[in-house]
Structures are given as structure tokens and as C-alpha cells.
Amino acid sequence: MPAKQEGLCLLPQGLAGAEPYQGPPAVLIRQGRVAALGEEALAKGGQRREMPGLWLSPAPLDAHVHLYLGPGPEHAMEAWRRAGVAAVRDLGHKPHHATPRDGGGPPLLRTACVGLGAQGEAAYWLAAPLSGAQAFAQAAREQARRGASVIKLFATGLLDFRHPGEVFYPRALSAEEVGAAVQEAHAAGLPVTVHANGETAVSQALAQGVDGIEHGYFLGPRCLMSMAQKGVWWTPTLAAVQAHLEDPEGRHDQATLEALAEIVRRQAAQIKRGEELGVNLVMGSDAGSYNLPHGDALFREIAAWLEAGVSPEAVFEASTKRAARSMGLAGELGEIAVGARDWLLATPGDPRRDPLLWRRPVWRGF
């Protein structure tokens, strides 16, 4: 039988992301999927590829990007492919933009279509302006019909960069509006994730049964504990504010830069506290926002978490299995498991100890 039909048996030094598997580090690939592991992989044959000194792991995912921010979706997706990222989730674009479509990858694309937000002064520039529970329910049904993989709500405005702890429009949506969108989305089998900062909006969203919180700046321990108890996904996007602090274009005055440093400090400490409390942390970069280019943005977010003191193991999980599950890609990506796609990376060390090894893999399967 030709080797192509038999498959390719990879023999690295070790496997990361194959838990709870125990056995020799061997992975058999056939027709773009993991066909067997360990002794079974060795027994089933295939062309063998020795990978001495290398660790094999699933490629990371980015659960929060904006493909229209930057040079456009096609260029952005190519940047993600070059970066070795297995999937991205587009979480909002202006209402007049066409919804980016998944071409089958790599990377795979999951999208929220157009986000849903408030009317009037609290309107968000990346969201369709709506008012009232009925309008939110109808919009969620329409997004499901259009093929959204997640419903995105904008429950607050932006951070006030000059005043740490303050948020523009801290309660842009009513509980009834959030609840109506959640009910319709869940009826269609879709999760709901919410752009929300501050305890008021996040507590309201959690009470209405949302599945994820995006950003989530300025939260207290009660909010974090509630997120952990409810199993809600939290994507804290630290690098997006760090990018403003770096400020290569000189947009901010000194007072604003000092305030931004405090905001970064608070969010870094909050992410570490979230890990300690057992919150479902998910890696997402907010790529496309100021000074945060597609592709490299994910590694900047990973570096920011590590600098915050989050354990490398938690960073690894947030970038692989947890990200995949939050994006509806469990079993497809984020782990080395029979049936999963063979979008794997080989690095000269265990990425569970240093996830930044993903930045320059020695070998990639896609």
C-alpha cells in the first residue's frame, strides 16, 4: 500500500495536549485527521517520521479578532495562516460590511456576523443599533439564520482610558434585552458572548445566562467567582490595552499613558486571580485594534498573560482545548485526539512550559 494511503506516523520526543492519553509519543495521521496514538499508531504502520528533540502539540486558536480592522479579511486570514493559528473567531464588524466566510481553513473561521448593541448615545460602532427585547430576540433569530456561530452583544461602551475603573455607558443594554437575545440564541443552539466591562454589566449578563464575557475589565472577586461557578468563558484581551500603552503613533498624552498603565496592571492581576478561582479563561487577542496586527497579536496576548503570572499550563489550555470548546470546535481542534484535525505544531520544547515556542515552530502539519 502506498505510504500516502497508509498515513504518516509522527515520532516526537513528547506530546502536549493529548491528555489523558498515556503511552509512547506516536501519532498516526491519515487523510488530514489523527487516526491513532501510541502503540496503536505504531502497529498500524504508515511512513514514519522521526522528530528527535521536538514536542508535538495542537496549534493554538484566537477566540477574539476583528477581521475588518486592518487591511481586510483576506489579508488578516493569511496572516493567521502564516502564524500557524488553527482557528479564529471574528467578533464584530460594521453593519454595512459583508460577513466573512469560512473557507475551510486553515485557519477555520467562526463569526458572530454583526454584533447587537444599543441605540442612541450608547450605540457601539461595531454593532447594529437596537432597542427593546423584541428587537434583540428578532435580531438573534436573524443572525442564526444567516449562519452565525455565536451571538455577540455589546453591553457597555469602551474603557475610559483617562480614568482607571470607569467605563463609557456602563449599562448600555437592559436585562430584558440581554435575556431576550440569550433565549433566542440558545433556542437556535448558539452561545452568546458579551462585550462588557465593569461589575454592573457583567453581573447583569451572568444573571441572564450568557456563555462568555469579552474583555471584562474592572471586575471584583464576586463577579469572578460567579463566572467560575457558572462555567462562563472569559476572554480578557489584555494585549489590546497594552498596545495603547506602547502607543507608537503618539496618540496619548502622559496622563493617559499613566492611566493606561494602571488599567493594564489591574487587568493583569485580575486574570491571575481568575486562574486561581477556576474561571474558564480563553485566549483572545482583539486583533485588528490599535497597534495589534493579525497573526502576531495572539502571541502578544500569550506573552501578556505570562508576564501577569498566569501559569504556562493555564495559558496552554486557554489557547488550545478551552479556546476550541468556547468556539464550538471541541474534538476538531485544540487537542491531539483520534478524529481531530492534524493541524499540529512541533516545537523544540514542551509548549505547556513555554507557550511562546509556538511563535517559531520547527515543523507544522498545515
- Distance (Å, rounded) from C-alpha 69 to C-alpha 285? 13
Strand order in the sheet with 87-90: 61-65, 87-90, 108-111
Report the amino acid identity of residue 190: L
The pLDDT, as a whole number, for residue 3 is 40
| Listed residue (142, 146, 141, 156) closest to 194, CA to CA | 156
The pLDDT, as a whole number, for residue 1 is 32
Q: What is the pLDDT of residues 49-87, one digit of tens each?
A: 999 999 999 999 999 999 999 999 999 999 999 999 999
pTM: 0.96
Q: Cell digits for 21?
A: 492519553
- Distance (Å, rounded) from C-alpha 66 to C-alpha 292? 11
The answer to whether 33 and 17 are in contact (CB under 8 A) is no
The pLDDT, as a whole number, for residue 129 is 97
Point out which residues pair with 245 in neighbouring strands.
none
Residue 209 is given by DSSP the state T
The pLDDT, as a whole number, for residue 67 is 97
For 31, 117, 121, 208, 254, the CA distances from 163, given in Å and listed in that order, are 54, 24, 20, 29, 13
Give the residue carrying C-alpha cell 477574539. 64
The answer to whether 179 and 208 are in contact (CB under 8 A) is yes
Q: What residue ranges of the chain have pLDDT lower than 70?
A: 1-5
For 162, 164, 242, 252, the CA distances from 262, given in Å and listed in that order, are 10, 7, 11, 14
For 148, 156, 325, the CA distances from 69, given in Å and listed in that order, are 19, 20, 25
The answer to whether 298 and 62 are in contact (CB under 8 A) is yes
- Which stretches of the chain are DSSP H helices? 3-6, 38-43, 73-82, 133-145, 175-187, 199-207, 221-230, 238-246, 254-277, 296-307, 312-319, 321-326
The pLDDT, as a whole number, for residue 287 is 98
Q: What is the pLDDT of residues 228-285, one digit of tens each?
A: 999 999 999 999 999 999 999 999 999 999 999 999 999 999 999 999 999 999 999 9
Residue 358 exposure: Cα atoms within 13 Å on the Cβ side: 36
Give the residue carrying C-alpha cell 470546535. 329
Strand order in the sheet with 151-154: 127-130, 115-118, 151-154, 192-196, 212-215, 233-235, 280-281
- Architecture category of domain 3-58+334-364 in CATH: Roll (2.30)
Fold of the domain built from segment(s) 61-326: TIM Barrel (3.20.20)
Enumerate the domain spans of the chain: 3-58+334-364, 61-326
Helix axes 238-246, 254-277, angle to 10 degrees: 160
